[in-house]
Structure 1
Amino acid sequence: MSPALALLLGLGLLAGCGADAATEGGCRFCHRGLEHVSASHPGCTECHGGDPQAWDKRRAHRGMFGGKNPAAPEAWEQTCGRCHPYQLARVRSNLMTTNTGMIRNIQLTWEGEDGRLYAARGEQAYGPQGEPQELAPVSELDNLSGELYRKFCSLCHVGQESNQVWSGSHGGGCAACHFPYNDNATYQGGDATVRGKWPYSADHRLQPLPGNDVCFRCHNRSGRIALSYQGLNDGNNSLVPTRGGQPGPRMIGGARNATSIAPDIHHEKGLECIDCHTSRDLMGDGYAYQNMYLQTEITCEDCHGSATEAPRSEPIQRENDEATRESRLYPRAMQQGEQMLLTAKGRKYSNVFVEGDKAWVQGKRSGRLHESKVITGTPEHTIVGHERLECYSCHSRSVAQCYGCHTRYDLGQMGMDFIKGRETPGRFSETEDYRMLYPFPLALNQRGRISPVTPGCQTFVTVADRRGETLKDEYVTSFKGRNQLRFAPFFGHNTGPRAIGCSQCHADPAFLGFGQHVVEGASIEGTLLCEKSEEKPLDGFLTMDYGRVRAFSAITRENSRPLNGAEVKRVLAVNQCLVCHDDPKDAIYQKKLDYRRLDACLERAGAAAP
C-alpha cells in the first residue's frame, strides 16, 4: 500500500461523514472532523454536489448545489426535494416560505389589495379548496407595502438566509429549521477549515425535530410569541442596565434587552413549540393559505375539550398512517390501533393520544408524557354568556402590544432589498411610542369568538423624497375606506392555569378596548391620547360618551369587529353581581343572568326600611 493511500484511509476513519473514502476522499481530506449530518445522510456530494475526486479546492467545489447551503430554495429540486418530494411540495406553498399572509395584510393596512396574491417568490400553488392559484413575486409589488416587506419583513421567511442578526440568524430553505445557528452565525464544530467562520450553522448535524431555539430566531419580533412563551419581554427599557450596570439579563437581536416575565404554563411543564404544533402547522399541507390562522390547525380545545364537548379522537387504522410515520422519530413511536386525538381540522396528532381514559401529550424530543386536563362540563367553563370566549381570552397572562409605530421611508437613502439582493433607493426607519403586556383589549375575531387583539398595524407613515422634502407627514393609512388605526386578533402564547379574575374583565374597561382611561359618570375618556387627535386614545379603539359607545379604529381579519354598545353594557353590568357572587363556580352563572334582579333586591330593601 502506498503512503498516500494509507494516509487517505486513515483520514477516512477520522472523518465525520460516513461515505466511502474511495469516492469522497477529496472532501474528507480537507473537512476532517466534520460531523455526520445523520445516519440517513452518509455522503457529501449527494447533498452538496461538487467533485469528490478533486484535490484542488476550486475544482472540488465546482458545481456545488446552492453554494454553502444546498438546502436553499434555488437548489431544492436537486438536493432535499430529490429524496423528500412530499415535504418539498408542502413547504413550497407553506406560509413560512411564501409569506403570502404577511404581504397581503401589509397591503390591506397600507394601500389596499390590487386583486393579485403575492408571495416572496412567484409560485404556482393550490388554494384551500384545491383551486389553482398563481402567486405573483413580491418583487413586482411596486409600492410602499412591497418595499416594506422586501426591506424589513423578508429576512424572516425560510427561503431567505439571514446571517447578520445577533440571535436571529438562520439558513435559507430547509436549513432554516433543521440546521440551527448560534447567536453569531458561526460554525463551532470539529472541522478546523470552517471553525469560527460565518455564515454557517453551529455544527453539521441535522436536527429532524427542531428545538425552541430554532423558533426563537424568527419569532422574537412582531408578535414576539417566542419571547412570551419562554417568559421574556423586550419592553420599553431598551439597553437600560438591569443588573450590575449591564443590560440584561439577556441580549437579543436588534440590541434589545430581554427581561423576565411569567412564562407560558406549557413551557413551565417542559413542552416545546413542536409538541403542540403539528408538521402541517409548520411545513404546510400543500395548500396556499392567505392568513396564518387558516394554515394553523390546532386549538386549545383539541387537547382540553370545550365547555360542552370532550376532545375528539380516532384510532390509527393503517401501519403507514401519517401519525405512525412521523412518530418514528419520537422516543415512543405510535402503533396501529392507538387512539389519537384530532386537530381542529380533523387530522390525527402524532404525539397526543388517549390512554387509560386520559389524554396524554408526548414530548416529541424528550419523550416525557404530560397529562392534558379536560375541562368539559366544569362549572367555571360553562358560564352562560361565555360561549363566544376563546380559551386564551381568560387564560392569557399577557399579550405583547406596541402602540404608536412611526415609520419613515426616505427615498434619498439606499436600502437593502433582500428579495432582489441589492440596494435600491428608499430606506425605512422606525420608532415607537409605547409598549405594554397587560391589560389587553378584547374583540371579536375571524371565528366570531371573543379574543385578545393587539395593534396591527398601528402605523404613522412619513415619506420623504430624494431631496428630503416631506411628501407625507405622520400619515394614517386607509383601511376599508377610512383613515384609521388597526388592531388584529392575536394569541400571545403566554397562557396560565389560572384565569383572569372575573372582576378584572367585567370592571376594567381597558379589556373592552377603551385603553387607559378615566370613568366619568356614563362616559369613559381615554388618557393615552394620540398627538394627532385629542379625542382618540392611542391604546384603545372604543370611546363612551354619555352612554353611547363608538368605535374609531378597525379590527382587521374577516368578520372581526369591536364589541358593540349593547355588548359593552352587558359586560359591565355583570360587575354588579360580582360584588357578592365572585366565585365563577357560583350556580347563578349557570343560567341566563337577569340584569334587573339587583334593582328588585334594592327595591325590596328600600320597602322594608323604617
Structure 2
Amino acid sequence: MKMNSKYGRTLLSLAVAAFLCCGFAGMKTAKAADDPANEWKVWQKKYNEQMASKQPGKKDMWLHKKLVEKSIIIDDAKLPNTKKRGKVKESCLTCHDGIEQISAFHPIDTFGCTICHGSDNPDSLIKEKAHENMIAGRSMKGLRNPSNLRIVQKSCGLGGCHYGHKQGDMNHVYRVRRTVMGLQSGISGALRYQYCGQESKFSKYSGVGMDDTDYVPKHRGGVAKMDTLPVFSAKDLPTDDDGNVLTTDDMGNPLTIGKEIADSQWRKSCARCHFWNEGKQAPADYRAQGCAACHVLYDNDGYYKGSDPTIPKDERGHGKVHQVTTAVPAEQCIHCHNRGGRTGVSYEGRVESDFYGTPFMAGKHSSEKYHGKYYNTPMMDIHYEKGMECIDCHTQFDTMGDGNLYSKKHEQAEVRCQDCHGTYKQGIVTTKVTDPKDRVIRLGMVSPNYENNVGDEMVVTGRGNKYTNAKIIDGEPILISKFDGREHVMPIITNKKGVHSIPQHQERMECWACHARHTSQCYGCHDNYDQTRKGKDKLSFQKSAGKWPEFRTYVRYDTPLLGLSAKGLVTTYVPGCQVFFNAVNKKGEILGDFDNFVFQSSEGYSSVATNPVFTHTVRTEVRSCEDCHLSTKALGLGTGQLTIDPDPTGKKDSMKYTYEMDRSGLSAAFPLDVMITPQGNQISSTSHVGARPFNQAEVNRILKVGNCLPCHDGYNDPIYQDIYKAYKDFPTKCKKDAFLKKATAAAK
C-alpha cells in the first residue's frame, strides 16, 4: 500500500515522540529507582500497572494515575495504644499501595501500620529511614512478622491488645508462649526418654524456658516451670553478630550444655514445628512463626497472591495475603501436622507412599511432592468428609493453651467425642449464656461465620468450658463451622442400642478405638547424626557441625494397634518414634556402636517405641469385632500366627512372625509392629506417663471373646450385655457342635 508522504511524516513524528516519551519515562523510572527519595514512585507506578492488567476496562485510568504521597492520620482517640508510638501520621501506603487491610477488626485508620510493625519515622518516604527501628526478632523472617514470639510483647502483646486483661482467655500472648505447640515440651521429653537422656517420661525442658506463676493444674499434668532445652555441646552455643558466645536464650533464660544427643536432634530437626520459628520453607510446609503461624494463611506454593507491589510475586515463603483470620482451614494446620502421628494428613485422607510418585494425577505419574513426600488419598475422616475443619472441633484452649504449662499435648487438649455425641448412658452437657460479657459472645463477634447471644444454650466441654460453635438450635444439637458457617447436626448416641450399649465398651474404651479403622503407620526411624555436614539450630537460627537426615524402614496403611492410654482406656497406638541411631564423625566414619543402634529406656524397654495417638481417621464404618478380638497385630503381639497352648494362662503361647527381623539387617530383636511378647511382657517403650500395652491377663480376656464371634457376631447379641454370665452358661446353653464347626471354618 502506498502511503501519503505527508501522512507518513505525521505518523513518523508521532512514533518518534512516543519513543522519546517512553524513553524519558524509562529514564525517569530508572532515576527514581536510584534515588532513595523517589523510590516510592517506582512502587506506586508498579501497583498502577498491576491494577491496569487486572482491570482492562480501566487500563488508561490506572496508567495515567498521578503518583502522590499517601498518608493517614491515626485516630488515636479510638486506640490509646497508638500514643505509645508517639506518631500519628504514617506514609507507609505510599509504597505499600494496595496492601490488604490486616483485618476488619484492625482498621487501618484506627490502627495504622506502626502499632504492630513499629518505626521511628513512619512519615518518611525514604525506605531506610521509614523502616528504622521496626520491630524485629533474631530471625530474618522476624523482620516482617511482629507476631514473632520473641518480640510479640511490643506488638500484639501490648497492654490492652492481646495482653493485660482481667479475663484470662483474652491474654493470648501469655497463653501462646506457654502452649505445647509453642514449646514442644512433649517431644523434647519423649526424645530424651527414648535416647536414655533422662529416666522420667515427664518433660523437664521446652524450646524456651517458661514458668507458670499462678494456678498449676497438677491433676491434669500441669507443671510450674520448664527450663530451656540445653545444647548438645559447647560448639552448638549461639553467638552474637560480633562472634561472642551467648549464654542466654532470647528470653533471658540460661543456656546450658547438656551433652545429650537427643537435645541436638530436637533443636536441629524436631523444633522446626514449634511456634518460635517459621518452620520448614518447602512446598506445603510454608508458614510464619508466632501468632501468624496459624492466623496468616499460606498457600502450599508459598507465593504472595495480594496486591502490595513491594512483595515479590515470584518469591516463595510469603503469606497468601496480608491478612489475619480466625477462619483457619485444615490445610493451614497441616503445614505442621504432617509428621509423627500424621494426624493432619490422615484427617484429610492422605497417606504417603514409599519414596515414589503415584499414578493418580491426570493420568500421569505425579511429580508433585507435599511435605517432601508423595501421597495417595484412600479415605478421609468422616468429619472432614462432612465439611468440618480442624478448628470446628478444637477449641482455642486446645491450640493456644489455657495459660498453663503441660508436659504432653493430650494434657492440654480439652475436646472429647462425648462432648458433642454423648455416651450411651449420658447425653451431652449444655449451659445457657447469661452474661453479656461471656467469652462466647465476644468470640462470636470477631468470627465471620457465627454469633452467640444471651440465652443461647451452649454445649460444654469436659472441663466445663462452653464451646463457641456448638449449641442447641430449635431443639437440635448443632455445630456451626467456624470456617464457613455451615450447620451440622450432631448425632447423639445416648440410649441407642448396638455397640455403644456393651458395658465393657462403655467403661474401658476410647471412642476411636473402634471408629479409627485405619491410619498411616511409619515404621523404623533411622536418625543419623552426621558431623560431616552442618545443621541449623531451629532456636538460635545458627549452624554448627551435626546435621540430622532421617530415613524410614517402611510405611503401612492399616488398622492401628491398641493399648491403654494414660487414663487407662483402650486407645489406638502408632509407631513413634522408633529410633535406630546412627552417628558419623567428621571423617565420615561410624562412631563406635552407633550403626542402627537401639537404645534401652530406663525401664529396660526398646527405643523402638509405639505410642498412643488419636489418629484423626474416624469413620462410621467401624472396625469389625474380629479386628480386635482375633487380631494379633491389634493386641500388640505383631503380625503373624499365634499358637495358643492348652495352658489357659497363656504362658506357653507362641508367635510365628510374618516379618523376620534377623533377615532385615536391623538390630531390633523383634518385628517393628510388636509391643509385647506372647506372654504379655512389654518390649516396646512408650513415652506417655501411665500408658502401656496390654498385659497377659488383658490379652487373654480380649481373645476369649473371640471364641464367641463365629456364632454371636452382632453388637445387639444379648450375650454381650453380660459376657461373664454368658461364659458361665457356655457348657449348658451353647451349641457346641455348631460352634466348633463355625470356629474351624473361621480359622481356615
Q: 1:406 aligns with which of 502, 522, 526?
A: 526
| 1:343-394 CA-partner distances (Å, limit 9, x unpaired) | 1212111111123443211111222111111112222202132221110000
SS at match of 1:154: helix
* 1:595 maps to 2:699: no
Whole-Å separation in 2 of the counterparts to 1:13 and 1:489: 61
Query: Structure 1 pair 316/605, CA: closer, same or farther in 2 (3 Å)?
Result: same
Letter of the 2:131 counterpart: H
Residue 207 of structure 2 is matched in structure 1 by 120
Q: How does 1:289-368 map to 2 (within 5 A)?
A: 289-330=406-447, 331-368=449-486
Farther off after superposition, 451-460 or 287-296: 451-460
Whole-Å separation in 1 of the counterparts to 2:69 and 2:658: 69
SS at match of 1:155: helix
Whole-Å separation in 2 of the counterparts to 1:347 and 1:513: 36
Query: Structure 1 pair 17/450, CA: closer, same or farther in 2 (3 Å)?
Result: farther
Query: Structure 1 pair 13/487, CA: closer, same or farther in 2 (3 Å)?
Result: farther
- CA contact 2:585–2:591 (8 Å) conserved in 1: yes
| 1:218-264 CA-partner distances (Å, limit 9, x unpaired) | 0111111111111111132533544467443963021x111111111
- CA contact 1:19–1:44 (8 Å) conserved in 2: no
Q: TM-score, normalised by structure 2?
A: 0.75
Whole-Å separation in 2 of the counterparts to 1:439 and 1:392: 12
Query: Structure 1 pair 466/132, CA: closer, same or farther in 2 (3 Å)?
Result: same
Letter of the 2:211 counterpart: Q
Whole-Å separation in 1 of the counterparts to 2:378 and 2:566: 29
Query: Structure 1 pair 498/483, CA: closer, same or farther in 2 (3 Å)?
Result: closer
- CA contact 1:384–1:592 (8 Å) conserved in 2: no
SS at match of 1:350: strand
Residue 230 of structure 1 is matched in structure 2 by 348
Whole-Å separation in 2 of the counterparts to 1:272 and 1:528: 38
Whole-Å separation in 2 of the counterparts to 1:372 and 1:113: 44
Q: 2:162 aligns with which of 84, 105, 125?
A: 84
Q: 1:110 aligns with which of 168, 192, 195?
A: 195
- CA contact 2:185–2:207 (8 Å) conserved in 1: yes
Query: Structure 1 pair 345/402, CA: closer, same or farther in 2 (3 Å)?
Result: same
Residue 249 of structure 2 is matched in structure 1 by none
Q: TM-score, normalised by structure 1?
A: 0.91
Q: CA deviation at 1:431?
A: 1.4
* 1:581 maps to 2:717: no
SS at match of 1:542: coil
Query: Structure 1 pair 35/144, CA: closer, same or farther in 2 (3 Å)?
Result: same
- CA contact 2:358–2:375 (8 Å) conserved in 1: no
Letter of the 1:266 counterpart: H
Structure 1 or 2, whichever has the larger Rg, is: 2
Letter of the 1:408 counterpart: N
* 1:526 maps to 2:657: yes
Q: 1:539 aligns with which of 645, 654, 673?
A: 673
Query: Structure 1 pair 163/429, CA: closer, same or farther in 2 (3 Å)?
Result: closer
Whole-Å separation in 2 of the counterparts to 1:276 and 1:317: 24
Q: 2:323 aligns with which of 182, 205, 209?
A: 205
Q: CA deviation at 1:191?
A: 1.1
- CA contact 2:434–2:455 (8 Å) conserved in 1: yes
Residue 136 of structure 1 is matched in structure 2 by 228
Whole-Å separation in 2 of the counterparts to 1:232 and 1:151: 27
Letter of the 2:124 counterpart: A
SS at match of 2:403: coil
SS at match of 1:360: strand
* 1:153 maps to 2:276: no
Whole-Å separation in 1 of the counterparts to 2:655 and 2:422: 37
Letter of the 2:127 counterpart: K
- CA contact 2:516–2:618 (8 Å) conserved in 1: yes
Q: CA deviation at 1:59?
A: 0.7
Q: CA deviation at 1:174?
A: 1.0
Residue 181 of structure 2 is matched in structure 1 by 96
Residue 585 of structure 2 is matched in structure 1 by 465
Letter of the 1:258 counterpart: Y
Query: Structure 1 pair 56/489, CA: closer, same or farther in 2 (3 Å)?
Result: same
Whole-Å separation in 2 of the counterparts to 1:220 and 1:563: 28
Residue 116 of structure 2 is matched in structure 1 by 47
Farther off after superposition, 411-420 or 294-303: 411-420
Letter of the 1:112 counterpart: G
| 1:62-100 CA-partner distances (Å, limit 9, x unpaired) | 111121111112221110111111111111111111111
Q: How does 1:199-278 map to 2 (within 5 A)?
A: 199-243=317-361, 246-248=364-366, 251-254=369-372, 256-278=373-395
Whole-Å separation in 2 of the counterparts to 1:389 and 1:416: 43
Q: 1:563 aligns with which of 694, 713, 718?
A: 694
Letter of the 2:718 counterpart: A
Letter of the 1:213 counterpart: E
Query: Structure 1 pair 221/14, CA: closer, same or farther in 2 (3 Å)?
Result: farther
Residue 61 of structure 1 is matched in structure 2 by 131
| 1:41-68 CA-partner distances (Å, limit 9, x unpaired) | 2111111112221111111111111211
Whole-Å separation in 2 of the counterparts to 1:251 and 1:244: 15
SS at match of 2:144: coil
Identity of aligned residues (%): 30
Q: CA deviation at 1:502?
A: 1.2
Q: 2:397 aligns with which of 276, 280, 297?
A: 280
Whole-Å separation in 1 of the counterparts to 2:669 and 2:454: 63
| RMSD over aligned Cα atoms | 2.7
Whole-Å separation in 2 of the counterparts to 1:28 and 1:372: 47
Whole-Å separation in 1 of the counterparts to 2:463 and 2:454: 21
Residue 684 of structure 2 is matched in structure 1 by 553
Query: Structure 1 pair 356/592, CA: closer, same or farther in 2 (3 Å)?
Result: farther
Query: Structure 1 pair 465/163, CA: closer, same or farther in 2 (3 Å)?
Result: closer
Q: 1:35 aligns with which of 96, 100, 111?
A: 100
Residue 149 of structure 2 is matched in structure 1 by 73
Whole-Å separation in 2 of the counterparts to 1:170 and 1:258: 21
Whole-Å separation in 1 of the counterparts to 2:66 and 2:319: 24
Farther off after superposition, 79-88 or 575-584: 575-584
Whole-Å separation in 2 of the counterparts to 1:16 and 1:183: 34
Whole-Å separation in 2 of the counterparts to 1:36 and 1:552: 56
SS at match of 1:458: strand
Residue 427 of structure 1 is matched in structure 2 by 547
Whole-Å separation in 1 of the counterparts to 2:68 and 2:445: 30
Q: How many residues align?
A: 595
Farther off after superposition, 496-505 or 148-157: 496-505
Identify unmatched segments of 5+ residues in structure 1.
none
Farther off after superposition, 510-519 or 532-541: 532-541
Query: Structure 1 pair 314/25, CA: closer, same or farther in 2 (3 Å)?
Result: closer
Name the one with the larger strand percent.
Answer: 1
Farther off after superposition, 116-125 or 445-454: 116-125
